[in-house]
Amino acid sequence: MTERYNLAKERITEIVTESKGLGIYGPFFESLSLYAKGLTEIYEDIKKNGPIGNKDVKELALRNEFLYGDIEKNYDNSYLNHDVCEKKFGECGNFLCVFYAEITGMIPYVFEQDIDEIVIRLELFLEVYSAVQNALADKEEVKSETLKEILYFYVFDYTEDESLKRIKKQLTLDNAYANKILSDYDLSDERTLYAFGEYVGKNELETFRAMSLLDEETIVKMSETFTEGFKRGFEVARKDMSKKKTVNLRYRLGFERVAAKAAKQFKEMGLESVIYRAGYDIFSRSGIFKAGYYGGLANPQFDEDHKEDMSLILDGQLVTRRTEGIKAAYEALKREASEWAGPACMEIFGEESFVPKDSAHAPRYKADKQDLIRDFRKRSSEITNEYIKREERSFAIIAWPIPAIGDFEKILPEIIKINTLDVEKYQKIQQTIIDTLDKADYIHVQGMNGNLTDLNVTLAVLNDPSKETSYENCLADVNIPLGEVFTSPVLKKTDGVLHVKEVFLNDLKFKNIKLDIKDGKIADYTCGNYEDEKKNRAFVEENLLFHYPTLPMGEAAIGTNTYAYAFAQKFDIFNKLPILIAEKMGPHFAFGDTCYSNEESVRVFNPDGKEMIAKENGEPYTYCHTDITIPYDELGLLEAVSFSGERVKILENGKFVLAGCEELNIPLNEL
């Protein structure tokens, strides 16, 4: 590999000047070769001196700007922008843009000193360059079919190796790059941020500085809330954690002190924290929604535009090849998979909301490819669940603000309070709500203040109400903060309209999302993000339905965390809260799978001893689940309707009116 690396580097150095004779393609290859050459220089510097060496913050920031500056500051004119490349190169534009993006995918491997990954990308670049150079030398047009073939076989040839490498990083401590930084580097020195190779922007620096000012007690409280919640998830579900050896620790750069403390606490529980990097290349890229550890998004529009680059080449053979690669990887790592306890995720919030611009030429899964991508997601999820049994693992998820939210010094203590509310108190109040709902045939929900919701949701029938329940009493274990009761609804006769004026789903902003529901499934949909109705429907189809023609309602819940709602109102930050908190601030409905998918056979009991029996909706798995919350100030009525027609109001005009829930209104009354 070293020999191949040296040959590729030497050739790319020649292309810096040689490419100027390639007409309209010259500037593209000159820019790309300069960037690739710069990456090799950084690789060799890190090999000699380490990720930060003796460099000061200014030098490290300049290096970071070289790596990400084109995405951050020049994206509208960059070869990384599909629209720019299409304008310059026509049908070849999309492929050239993807090749450029794949070279940026070298960044993690430069820092991790993974020469194999660097070489295959340098050689990809040289293959593309040769194809263009040869076509022009023969006085022929550069054909998009030629570039497509190069991209196709690049993915086809390496997908098995990439699957094995990525899954191994998720399950084991082999090449645990981030772990070494957290254990060996000075977490009070902001130069440490630049050692990861991720984008370091204002938010990451300010967060790191803010965390460095917190006392040890606060750091312990932040991490312990999270790690203890993970452990409680096993206890509540009566799962055996003693058989597990690893846990995924996922976080956003800036929270190194909290992550390091969490890793220590997990170790005391007998779990090693596997901290792996979020997807970065065509094999693993997933838009702005990241799984793993990651830095800032230099430009979320870049991530949004490139999230479906694979659509340019996906076919049935490639789906089979990719799923076979995943299967082979898990088979090779089946012991490690069985010892994996699950993901422990720290989310962040407080950044400016992102509404993606409409890109005319960013690749998307059109109708002819949607069956393929659904098939791939289904098959890959089934393989994962075969080796990592959901009934044997758990998870935990929590969210923390960053300084960009404003009033950080006041908001952080409030969020800590929200994340550590009195479990016993909420358990009793939520049980009161559940006792009412367990007598109902359906719930009726109506909006107010411009919210057009008018929805009936059918509930499961209890065979033995003395021992069974249709709602789970959700407290502060896996899903932090506490504050909801939820069920899997019966789809038949679940009808009406669900509407929310503004909501964030999978980190994307939806304005006036409106879903027509018939027998528990989405029958029609729209939003108000764009003036063009076709674009609105396409946005919902892509980012909520995930290219399914419809999705069933998988969850119907009532959020009870009025403290969180009052906090959001007080600081006027509704538009910055993650769904993790927002879903607790009113009724919410999820579309896709139920909360119990792949573990319907696991018996679940509420603290009162009753068994939760509403765990299915009778639909095939879709492997997606997206919550949509109606905030209290848009909620006119939520009532339980019995089989005899008796109506019991639980919420009215944004407040709880059910006897026994009066305490939930205290934060609302104090606004």
CA dist., res. 59 & res. 629, Å (int): 45
- In the prediction, which pLDDT does 444 show? 98
Query: In the predicted model, is pLDDT for residue 511 greater than 90?
Result: yes
The whole-number average pLDDT for the span 369-386 is: 94
Q: How far apart are CA 633 and CA 629, in angstroms?
A: 11
Question: How would residue 353 be classed by pLDDT, with cut points 50, 70 and 90?
Answer: confident
C-alpha distances in Å from residue 467, one per residue of 407, 462, 470, 489, 610 = 48, 9, 11, 19, 5
The pLDDT assigned to 603 comes to 87
pLDDT confidence band for 401 (50 / 70 / 90): very high
* Cβ atoms 37, 19 nearer than 8 A: no
Rounded Cα–Cα distance for residues 498 and 515 (Å)? 5
Q: Are 157 and 23 in contact (CB under 8 A)?
A: no
Per-residue pLDDT for 602 more than 80?
A: yes
Alpha helices by DSSP H, 50-184: 57-73, 82-89, 93-104, 107-112, 115-137, 144-171, 177-184
Structure tokens at 95: 């492929």
pLDDT above 90 for 117: yes
Q: Write the CA distances from 82 to 77, 231, 409, integer angstroms.
A: 10, 45, 41
Q: String of b and e for 223-251 (b: at least 16 CB within 10 Å)?
A: bebbbbbbbbbbebbebebeebbbbbbbb
Mean pLDDT of all residues in 48-66: 97
Q: What is the pLDDT of residue 61?
A: 98
- In the numeric block, the tokens 């800036």 are attached to 254
pLDDT at 476 over 80: no
Higher per-residue pLDDT: 289 or 321: 321
Residues belonging to the chain: 671
Element (H, E) at 343: strand 340-349
DSSP 528: S
Under 8 Å between Cβ of 398 and 249: no
Cα–Cα distances (Å) from 569 to 104, 377, 572, 573, in that order, read 41, 38, 5, 7
pLDDT beyond 80 at 366: yes
pLDDT at 19: 87
CA distance 660 to 541: 41
- Checking if the pLDDT of 114 tops 80, the result is yes
Percent of the chain whose pLDDT exceeds 70: 100
The SS3 call for residue 441 is strand
Contacts of 602 (CB under 8 A, 6+ apart): 237, 391, 596
Q: What is the largest CA-CA distance in the chain?
A: 83
- Residue with the two structure tokens 């693992």: 393
What is the pLDDT, as a whole number, of residue 578?
87
404 within 8 A of 206, measured Cβ to Cβ: yes
pLDDT of 567 reads: 94
Tell whether the model's pLDDT for residue 454 goes beyond 80. yes
Interatomic CA distance for residues 561 and 414, integer angstroms? 13
Q: Which among 152, 136, 148 is positioned nearest to 23, based on CA atoms?
A: 136
Strand order of the β-sheet with 472-474 is: 472-474, 484-487, 553-559, 587-592, 625-629
Query: How far apart are alpha carbons 5 and 11 in whole angstroms?
Result: 10
pLDDT 10s digits, 176-211: 999 999 999 999 999 999 999 999 999 999 999 999
Q: Residue 3's pLDDT band (boundaries 50, 70, 90)?
A: very high
| CB count in 10 Å sphere of residue 3 | 8
pLDDT in tens, 20-55: 889 999 999 999 999 999 999 999 999 999 999 999
Q: For residue 388, which amino acid is it?
A: I
pLDDT (tens digit, 9 = 90+) per residue, 526-535? 999 999 999 9
Structure tokens at 121: 């990308």
According to the model, what pLDDT value does residue 329 have? 97
- Provide mean pLDDT across the span 4-8: 97
Total-model pTM: 0.90
pLDDT range class, residue 355, cuts 50, 70, 90:
confident
Residue 293's nearest CA partner among 342, 255, 265 is 255
Nearest alpha carbon to residue 384 among 602, 170, 625: 170
Residue 382 pLDDT greater than 90, yes or no: yes
- The burial class, CB within 10 Å (0-12 / 13-18 / 19+), for 26 is middle
Mean pLDDT, range 467-475, rounded to an integer: 95
Supply 467's token pair: 């021992």
Does 65 have pLDDT greater than 80?
A: yes
CB contact at 8 A, 513 and 640? no
